[in-house]
Structure 1
């Protein structure tokens, strides 16, 4: 691990914010690092308000999208709500279908099959619409690159409304409306919405036509918060507001499907991190192991007994997914070890038997292990399909663009993408990808980095300090959990390796002139020698609460330690 300390803001700015908010200098520093410089900005940050959401009609084509849906309702057209099989896609479909059905009966949903249709809009889906007399398809979390498929549908008398958040290609599909804040010609003030977020802006615009406000739509925010967490979009601006209020719904009055998931894990107060690691994998498991329709059925079900049944089935899929991804990860790691004859800047592995539904998870695990831009390939019909994952600050989407001559189709984000190619192009692509990354990546990015926000002493850590720190949540990209660095620490003599296989490190640390505090370092048992015999060391960590036998106390969650 390489440690870096974030630049300290100007002293005058720290002092001004400290004075305005009556907080200590460390908290003022953390706020300034997040771009918060004034009392009003801090108030908006600490007290999110639905009034802070932008006018949906600022998004290009929003008026056209609303007009086309209103026309469909007036003319009794069949509307097909179409979305991808991942969490963002299935929550988007559940959101749009649930809302439209409060106004209109002729609404149906469609999730493509991961295995015979693949990602995004498919000809099979369009033909389904054609055969069943659908004249309007609302596509969510996909469609921005489906120029030919949208044109094909138009020829057949089917209109599209596209709600996407991925980067457009060279041309925009000729749909009735294309809602995507990342369109170059879209002046919408916030660019980082997820697919479900764009869908929410559309129902916000539709609701305004009925004389309703965003306060009438809070019931949908459990879905939006789940998508924001799962799609790893920045927790800033509108996403922060939507995630904040979505978590309130999840923790107070979630829809029956989410409530049924939560009853399986017996968790009380969920954070966005819990949503990412508890709710999202279960929703995702349906599309990975069976079909995304199961997730939509769960998320749209109003009967609690049926929701519990669906959640139980989905939990079984999730257990299957865990076993499958564990096995494939082990096989992939073995393959990499066998290839280690030369230093590589990328990790690319392939096995035609690997389950397509879990290769993205496996790619993430390999990236964590070897810290290289990573691609995991498997066979998909006559072609090979891959999931790509990247290391921090390296744009894997751009790297794939540079290899596009070898690729059939690709799409995604800076850190995660998917692609297909012909089997005969695999070796040429693999070499081209290695060459592009080797040529363009800053070699420092191949060493995992921990960025500490600020250096502090232990006596800074008080219950009052932590109460304010908790209000920085919800955490996520661009508003990560604050990481602190402290030097000159020593264990009080009770440090030990804990856990069934002794892989974790538990100790109580002190610093000259301060009280002691308990620390836990998960998977850090191998660093015991650094803290034994009261040797001084330094640590990077976050602060959280530990509950034991009804007592709640502060603890340090170690990220790394060094001499």
Structure 2
């Protein structure tokens, strides 16, 4: 697939040089800092040296005083408390964090994860009925609830109080809960707005600990779970999230909780995890339980105190993940074949595919794979509970949610955001929806949005990548949204030795420029370039710089994102 290379505009020379001189660093590095809003020594120190003292006072969050008072009252009166959370990674880590913390101090509580297929996302009537039938008088909802106006009203009729801990965008009205914690509340002055759902749960237990003289170490026991939620919910890794992710990764790589340690073992890797590794190795396994069976298995693993119990749950989740992979790959193959064998589908600017037998639990993953392959707004549909359920994904810069709004008369319900959404419609409307969606996308998408873009931070001479440069670059981690691993361009490099193919379509080679060291490179899914990669033939590369660990040996490796010949 052809990709556009877009180089970010650099800061002014005087600004670059001033910061570079203050920090004794290369101007390429000072440009990276300025692009992240860091322009002086103190800002760089704050960025490069995350500190627990950088975390904000949890009581700055609107509703926190009321939440803590209600929990204290419930504990004092021995009320039954239900910890309620969504079935994805953010929801299950949030439940595991809050339940794990309070279980050490109070026994009259339990947790509840809704069934993906029977109850759907968020707070459900069935969940409230379960609480009423089992005499729970307080529900702490995590990673959901900010728009559950009717559900909270229903709970109030049953004398069940709610504390909402959410991080999603609020509607025009807040639920009538005892407390609503959401940094995105318009009236909330909390300094950081991008916490994960688990992050909001973490602030809740941090506030409770502070109010009740509980050591902060008891709160930080769960910081590895917070890091997992930050990674897998794709929230910004800036500000407070950067601090939480930094210390969470430290704990995960040195002293993870029993459940996370077991998860790492079944994933086949027990150290040197990055945010990206969490996303690709741990997140899918946690999610697989809810996609294929019951998300409670994930919570049971993450709160496990016994290694044998954790191992049993870890192996079960790994089996579910293998099942998820089978569904994922077979459905992806079917969908690719469906598109490739249809002239009408292949020539569209959108993709809508439907098969009533596809597994609902993986259609979101399939939609992502199809978007990656064809790079256009994509909807994957399957049959569910008498209706058709769908998962949608978009391309950079195109507002998928707005496109679905234009199709709303054909939908029973839909929700999501710019780049990902879910939808439900009647079976008889599938064809009409596919045509309308194509009309909307064709009329509103720009030609350049249908070509994947590589955003390049700066140009770099390979000789600039010395040990000091690499050491400082590593301090920009943890990488993620709004703090992505920097992408560089180097021009007129050449192959040193021979380039070869590894795996199915990956290029392994060594490259250099005149007067530079030779660098080991990996170019995933770039096999089509191999015939041209000959000694003496110059070409440009864009890449990230990473540490490659192989049999306990560490080396600098260029992870090539694009190759371009003159």
Q: Which runs of 5+ in 1 are unaligned?
A: none
Cα offset for 1:23? Answer: 0.9
Once the two structures are superposed, what CA deviation does each residue of 1:192-213 show, in whole Å capped at 9, x if it has no partner? 1111111111111111111246
Q: Give yes or no for contact 2:519–2:558 (8 Å, CA) kept in 1.
A: yes
Aligned residue for 2:155, secondary structure, equals helix
Residue of 170, 173, 177 corresponding to 2:172: 170
Q: Give yes or no for contact 1:166–1:413 (8 Å, CA) kept in 2.
A: no
1:244 aligns with 2:230: no
Match of 2:302 in 1: 299
1:268 aligns with 2:289: no
Change (3 A) 1:190 1:430: farther
Aligned residue for 2:470, secondary structure, equals helix
Q: Give yes or no for contact 1:218–1:249 (8 Å, CA) kept in 2.
A: no
Once the two structures are superposed, what CA deviation does each residue of 1:461-483 show, in whole Å capped at 9, x if it has no partner? 11221111111111001111111
What pairs up with 1:444-483 in 2 under 5 angstroms? Answer: 444-483=448-487
Aligned residue for 1:532, secondary structure, equals coil
CA distance in 2, matches of 1:233, 1:549: 33
Match of 1:156 in 2: 158
Match of 1:65 in 2: 67
Match of 1:319 in 2: 322
Once the two structures are superposed, what CA deviation does each residue of 1:510-535 show, in whole Å capped at 9, x if it has no partner? 21232222211111111113322521
Match of 1:395 in 2: 399
Residue of 532, 539, 544 corresponding to 1:542: 544
TM-score, structure 1 normalization: 0.96
Once the two structures are superposed, what CA deviation does each residue of 1:34-83 show, in whole Å capped at 9, x if it has no partner? 11111111111111011111121222222222222122112211111111
1:278 aligns with 2:281: yes
Q: Give yes or no for contact 1:530–1:562 (8 Å, CA) kept in 2.
A: no
Aligned residue for 2:343, secondary structure, equals coil
CA distance in 1, matches of 2:491, 2:146: 50
What pairs up with 1:77-92 in 2 under 5 angstroms? Answer: 77-92=79-94
Cα offset for 1:118? Answer: 1.1
Change (3 A) 1:53 1:548: closer
Change (3 A) 1:352 1:372: same
List structure 1 runs of 4+ shifted beyond 6 angstroms: none
Match of 1:418 in 2: 422
CA distance in 1, matches of 2:59, 2:550: 50
Aligned residue for 1:103, secondary structure, equals coil
Aligned residue for 2:221, secondary structure, equals helix
Aligned residue for 1:341, secondary structure, equals helix
Residue of 344, 349, 355 corresponding to 1:345: 349
CA distance in 1, matches of 2:428, 2:67: 42
Q: Give yes or no for contact 2:261–2:270 (8 Å, CA) kept in 1.
A: no
Change (3 A) 1:60 1:214: same
Aligned residue for 1:534, secondary structure, equals coil
Match of 1:101 in 2: 103
Q: Give yes or no for contact 1:50–1:215 (8 Å, CA) kept in 2.
A: no
What pairs up with 1:222-261 in 2 under 5 angstroms? Answer: 222-261=224-263
Residue of 517, 528, 531 corresponding to 2:530: 528
Match of 1:41 in 2: 43
Aligned residue for 1:561, secondary structure, equals strand
Aligned-pair RMSD on alpha carbons? 1.7
Q: Give yes or no for contact 1:80–1:137 (8 Å, CA) kept in 2.
A: yes
Give the length in aligned residue pairs.
561
Q: Which moved more, 1:376-385 or 1:3-12?
A: 376-385
Q: Give yes or no for contact 2:496–2:535 (8 Å, CA) kept in 1.
A: no
CA distance in 2, matches of 1:555, 1:75: 59
Change (3 A) 1:270 1:549: closer
Change (3 A) 1:332 1:361: same
Q: Give yes or no for contact 1:93–1:109 (8 Å, CA) kept in 2.
A: yes
Match of 1:367 in 2: 371
CA distance in 1, matches of 2:87, 2:483: 28
Residue of 50, 53, 57 corresponding to 1:55: 57
Cα offset for 1:403? Answer: 3.2
CA distance in 2, matches of 1:87, 1:550: 30
Change (3 A) 1:64 1:399: farther
Q: Give yes or no for contact 1:204–1:213 (8 Å, CA) kept in 2.
A: no
Change (3 A) 1:75 1:401: farther
CA distance in 2, matches of 1:406, 1:323: 32
Q: Which runs of 5+ in 2 are unaligned?
A: none
Once the two structures are superposed, what CA deviation does each residue of 1:250-287 show, in whole Å capped at 9, x if it has no partner? 11111111111112213322111111111111111100
1:134 aligns with 2:136: yes
CA distance in 2, matches of 1:78, 1:410: 34
